[in-house]
């Protein structure tokens, strides 16, 4: 049985997906891996990928490529998102990954949004019903509203957990001034997010949402089956953000369900998640564990058997 693989190189983390098709032509995971390498550290300020961030990220790419080949994949393509497209030296990532036999495509925000939608639509069939998708990354956040393959709204916002942390978060725990600055920035950045009907399903994907869900439901160690498809109310999201903001970084690093490497950016990420769901006018969000890497496989290989 043929095996497929892809690597998603984000601003905060690198993710591997190795999958095979089932009888219905849907991809079923064989292996999934994630490492937080913080490729986008400092990019918002300097405009370049640092040598240290590149080295850490490429090391993870190399390990993931080796694992994918060991599982029978003859090709290991990759996508890179916000940090790589914003940095003046994004080509260094492409060249470094090529040395590991990995072809990297730096994708724009619109394509990132389309791949996020594809990943969610393949899992949560809309059957023509309206669906909203929120994909929070380290450097950008994609919001897509549509039905089937027809979109009424699709936009990539230049706000993410890493970017917002570097711009606004000061103090430990964050100062009230930092939180006020963050809330103001979110209000401005998300002002064009449309309101959706009360019965519209909203799906939140990527590490910020899955982490908030793991914290809320005390999922430790992380288990996809206990996170994927769970619901969180807007009140639960806002409560989690406030609770995280009251804790010090050292305290957050010890919390069950929260990766220590994500502890420094989760406060901004949590407020971003809550603000985006509220901007849509939704009362709750469905948590999805599948993102760009899943959408890319369907985009590249289609949905046939």
pTM above 0.85, yes or no: yes
CA 145 to CA 151: how far, in whole Å? 6
Query: Quick one: residue 293, left, alpha or beta (phi over 0 = left, psi -120 to 50 = alpha)?
Result: alpha
What tens digit of pLDDT does each residue of 190-240 get?
A: 999 999 998 899 999 999 999 999 999 999 999 999 999 999 999 999 999
Q: Do both 135 and 283 map to the same domain? A: yes
What mean pLDDT comes out for the span 153-181? 97
Contacts of 239 (CB under 8 A, 6+ apart): none
CA 162 to CA 10: how far, in whole Å? 11
Q: Residue 10 belongs to a domain with what CATH number?
A: 3.30.420.40
Contacts of 289 (CB under 8 A, 6+ apart): 205, 210, 224, 227, 228
Distances (CA, A) of 213 to 20, 57, 72, 204: 27, 26, 33, 10
What does DSSP assign to residue 260?
A: G
Q: Do both 250 and 102 map to the same domain? A: no
Task: Tell me whether residue 117 is in a domain.
Answer: no
Q: Percentage of residues in the chain with pLDDT exceeding 70?
A: 98
For the residues of 39-51, what is the DSSP string, one character each?
TTTTHHHHSS--H
Judge whether 179 and 244 are in contact, CB under 8 Å.
no
Q: Do both 72 and 219 map to the same domain? A: no
Q: Do both 54 and 172 map to the same domain? A: no
Q: Do both 38 and 183 map to the same domain? A: no
Judge whether 152 and 133 are in contact, CB under 8 Å.
no
pLDDT at 89 exceeding the cut of 60:
yes
Task: Tell me whether residue 215 is in a domain.
Answer: yes
- CA 218 to chain CA mean position, Å: 20
Specify the pLDDT at position 222.
93
Task: Tell me whether residue 90 is in a domain.
Answer: yes
Q: Residue 263 belongs to a domain with what CATH number?
A: 3.30.420.150
What mean pLDDT comes out for the span 259-277? 97
Q: Do both 151 and 59 map to the same domain? A: no
Range(s) of the domain holding residue 237:
124-288
Nearest one of 107, 247, 234 to 169, comparing CA atoms: 247
Q: Do both 101 and 128 map to the same domain? A: no
| Whole-number average pLDDT of the chain | 95
Task: Tell me whether residue 74 is in a domain.
Answer: yes
Q: Which two structure tokens, joined as six digits, stand for 269?
A: 């990420």
Final residue in a domain of this structure, among 106, 138, 157: 106
Task: Tell me whether residue 118 is in a domain.
Answer: no
Which pLDDT band, with edges at 50, 70 and 90, does 283 fall under?
very high
Contacts of 191 (CB under 8 A, 6+ apart): none
Structural domains counted in the chain: 2
Q: Do both 214 and 73 map to the same domain? A: no
Judge whether 141 and 160 are in contact, CB under 8 Å.
yes
Task: Tell me whether residue 300 is in a domain.
Answer: no
Specify the pLDDT at position 114.
93
Q: Do both 94 and 135 map to the same domain? A: no
Which pLDDT band, with edges at 50, 70 and 90, does 75 fall under?
very high
Which pLDDT band, with edges at 50, 70 and 90, does 170 fall under?
very high
Final residue in a domain of this structure, among 48, 74, 106: 106
Compute how many other C-beta atoms are within 10 angstroms of the C-beta atom of residue 86.
Answer: 20
Task: Tell me whether residue 296 is in a domain.
Answer: no
Bridge partners of 141, per DSSP, are 136, 157
Distances (CA, A) of 63 to 66, 212, 262, 273, 295: 5, 28, 21, 31, 22
CA 182 to CA 74: how far, in whole Å? 45
Q: Which two structure tokens, joined as six digits, stand for 175?
A: 């100062």
Q: Do both 155 and 31 map to the same domain? A: no
Q: Do both 84 and 140 map to the same domain? A: no
Q: Do both 15 and 80 map to the same domain? A: yes
Task: Tell me whether residue 151 is in a domain.
Answer: yes
């Amino acid at each position: 049985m043929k095996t497929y693989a892809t690597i998603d190189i984000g601003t905060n983390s690198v993710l591997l997906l190795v999958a095979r098709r089932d009888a219905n032509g849907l991809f079923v995971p064989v292996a999934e891996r994630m490492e937080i390498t913080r490729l986008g550290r400092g990019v918002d300020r300097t405009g370049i990928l640092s040598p240290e961030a590149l080295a850490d990220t490429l090391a993870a790419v190399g390990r993931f490529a080796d694992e994918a080949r060991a599982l029978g994949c003859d090709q290991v393509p990759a996508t890179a998102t916000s940090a790589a497209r914003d940095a003046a030296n994004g080509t260094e990532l492409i060249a470094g990954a090529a040395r590991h036999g990995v072809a990297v495509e730096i994708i724009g925000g619109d394509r990132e949004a389309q791949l996020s939608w594809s990943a969610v639509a393949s899992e949560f069939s809309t059957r023509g019903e309206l669906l909203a998708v929120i994909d929070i990354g380290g450097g950008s956040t994609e919001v897509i509203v549509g039905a089937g393959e027809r979109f009424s709204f699709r936009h990539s916002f230049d706000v993410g957990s890493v970017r917002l942390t570097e711009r606004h978060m000061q103090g430990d725990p964050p100062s009230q001034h930092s939180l006020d600055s963050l809330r103001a920035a979110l209000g401005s950045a998300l002002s064009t997010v449309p309101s959706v009907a009360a019965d519209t399903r909203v799906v939140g994907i990527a590490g910020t949402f899955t982490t908030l869900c793991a914290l809320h439901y005390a999922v430790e160690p992380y288990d996809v089956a206990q996170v994927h498809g769970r619901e969180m109310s807007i009140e639960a999201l806002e409560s989690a953000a406030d609770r995280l903001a009251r804790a010090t970084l050292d305290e957050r690093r010890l919390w069950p369900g929260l990766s220590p490497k994500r502890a420094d950016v989760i406060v901004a990420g949590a407020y971003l998640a809550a603000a985006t769901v509220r901007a849509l006018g939704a009362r709750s969000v469905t948590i999805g564990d599948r993102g760009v890497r899943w959408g890319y496989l369907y985009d590249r290989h289609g949905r046939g058997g």
